[in-house]
Amino acid sequence: MKGPEDDAGLSGKVAIISGGGAAGDGIGNGRAAAILLARSGAHVLVADRELKLAERTVEMIKAEGGHAAAFAGDMTQEVECKRLVDAAVDHWGRLDFLDNNIGIGSRGSVVDEKPEEYRRVMQINVETMFLVSKHAIPAMIKTAKGGSIVNISSISALRPRGLTTYTTSKAAVIGLTKAMAVDHGKDNIRVNCICPGPMYTPMVYARGMSDAARSQRARASVLKTEGTGWDVGHAVRFLLSAHARYITGQVLTVDGGVTLQGPERDSQDH
């Protein structure tokens, strides 16, 4: 499992990946981050609402000789978020890193959207990050004298395209990131945000995607190629690592240059 990669201060550290499962053997953003952190020597607690999805990520890590454990819980419930953080500390005695990766999509304008759906999207996409961080930060301070957090937003926060509730929630993630960075810099905790573009992940292709739609998404980027969960995972690992020691409160766009071009409404959520 160990390669020539510089572990950048990750070896022996402990990370929580919320939303770290994925369907089958697919590589979602959270699963990729979990595997890459484990390859760099971190101990990873993989959390997902469905235990079997988290367990599959753990199996993939352990097959490479890494250290990981699975956790099942509903992160919209504060008691579950506390239980998640406690589990990481109980397993390995400390907490250094958090990748807030939970999110769902939504479509339509404020006129189209139902109020209950708006509240559900905001709860899952924003409040879960608030709640997990609320318990992770004190644990980082107590057990590791600092740490690093990455929150996953979306390019939809930067370039609205007909996904109003989703855009609103992902824009809130950016605001939350910057506020947390200011609040907890004094605690030696860095907080950054990633805005993925049109990644080809299980969450996207599980809904079905034609070859034409997939090709359209690839053409939307300057590089004329699609992104994958690995692209986001590498960005997460970088921002959590010591290589990013002087980076906090920043938004890293990982989109192949999609946001450099004119907006195009399509039929898939980012």
Terminal-residue alpha carbon distance, the chain:
31
User: Does the annotation count 166 as an active-site position?
Assistant: yes
CA distances from 164 to 64, 188, 226 (A): 41, 35, 23
> What is the spatial distance between Cα 39 and Cα 33, in angstroms, rounded to a whole number?
10
Q: Residue 142 corresponds to which tokens in the numbers above?
A: 């107590």
Provide φ and ψ at 164, rounded to 5°. -60, -50
**CB 98 within 8 Å of CB 133:** yes
Helix (H, G, I), strand (E, B) or coil at 199: strand
Distance from CA of residue 206 to its chain's centroid? Answer: 18
Between strands 14-18 and 43-48, the pairing is: parallel
The one-letter amino acid at 220: A
Query: Among residues 74, 9, 71, 62, which one has the least CA distance to residue 38?
Result: 62
Catalytic residue among 118, 166, 200, 205: 166
Classify the C-alpha dihedral 252-85-141-9 as positive or negative. Answer: negative
Beta strand residue intervals within 159-237, DSSP E:
189-196, 199-200, 227-228
Active site residues: 166
